Amino acid sequence: MASRPLKDYVPALLLAAAIVTWVPVAWIYAAPIVGLSGIAPHSAHAPILLVHAVGGLAMLGLGTAAIYIGWTRKYFKGHRWFGYGYLVVGGTGAMAALALSVIAPHEPRSLYVATGTLAAAWLGVAAMAWRAAKNRRFDSHREWMIRSYVLSWTFVGCRMANLLTLFPTLRLEAVTAQIWMFWIVPYLLCEFALQWGRGAAGPAGARDRALAP
């Protein structure tokens, strides 16, 4: 039996890496909110934070399942329902994140511009994924869902931003800069990966060169 090329394993390896990184972070940060043991410091906005935490866990768990099913085609009859759950419950969590960004309950308040922009980007990308599926453009749907899942995964980076100090000269504002970096850079890398093949040399590229002045 011929061995499968290494590139066939790349999606599974990336998915495994995502799970390995988000599970402990979700357990440390989201689980105490959902279990109410860590809700006391946020009593003034506890209901919104609870919705956000549940939605964040749904984004990661249901999104992982939906992408796995989409890639492997296993249990494909359940793909639509995992996708609906991801969009509805995850979208509710993202809207809660937008509400928290408006309230801006903690310092530095500038970080809520970064997290609010991330939530708006997630909602926009998820809407594009739903639209593509509704119109049966499954190639486009797959790419938008990958983008959406990457934005969901940046939950990990945003939590890391609260622990690291990469820009000490920015002092209190360092966490804001780090949140921007930890969600924009993964999204850009995802976009480069999705678009890489479309810029490769080939018949279309040769035709474009022939038409160039």
The two three-digit tokens of residue 141, written as one number: 């749907």
Query: Contact at 8 Å (CB) between 182 and 150?
Result: no
Q: What is the pTM of this model?
A: 0.83
Range of the domain at 136: 8-194
Which residues contact residue 58 at a Cβ distance below 8 angstroms, ignoring those fewer than 6 apart? 85, 86, 89, 90, 93
Q: Percentage of the chain surpassing pLDDT 90?
A: 33
Residue 39 inside a domain? The answer is yes
Q: Is residue 209 part of a domain?
A: no
CB atoms within 10 A of CB 70: 19
| 37 part of a folded domain | yes
Residue 207 placed within a domain: no
Residue 28, in any domain of the structure: yes
Residue 54 included in any domain: yes
> Judging by beta carbons within 10 Å of its beta carbon (0-12, 13-18, 19+), is residue 117 exposed, middle or buried?
middle
Whole-angstrom CA distances from 129 to 87, 135, 145, 148, 149 are 9, 10, 6, 8, 11
Q: Residue 204: inside a domain, yes or no? A: no
| Count of domains for the chain | 1
Report residue 211's pLDDT band, with 50, 70 and 90 as the boundaries: very low
pLDDT in tens, 149-175: 999 988 877 877 777 788 888 888 888
In a domain, 211, yes or no: no
Taking CA atoms, 24 is separated from 20, 156, 160, in Å, by: 7, 9, 12
What's the pLDDT tens digit per position in 184-193? 999 999 999 8
Q: Which residues of 170-198 are buried (b: 16+ CB within 10 A; e: fewer)?
A: eeeebbbbbbbebbbebbeebeeeeeeee
Averaged pLDDT score across all residues of the chain: 84
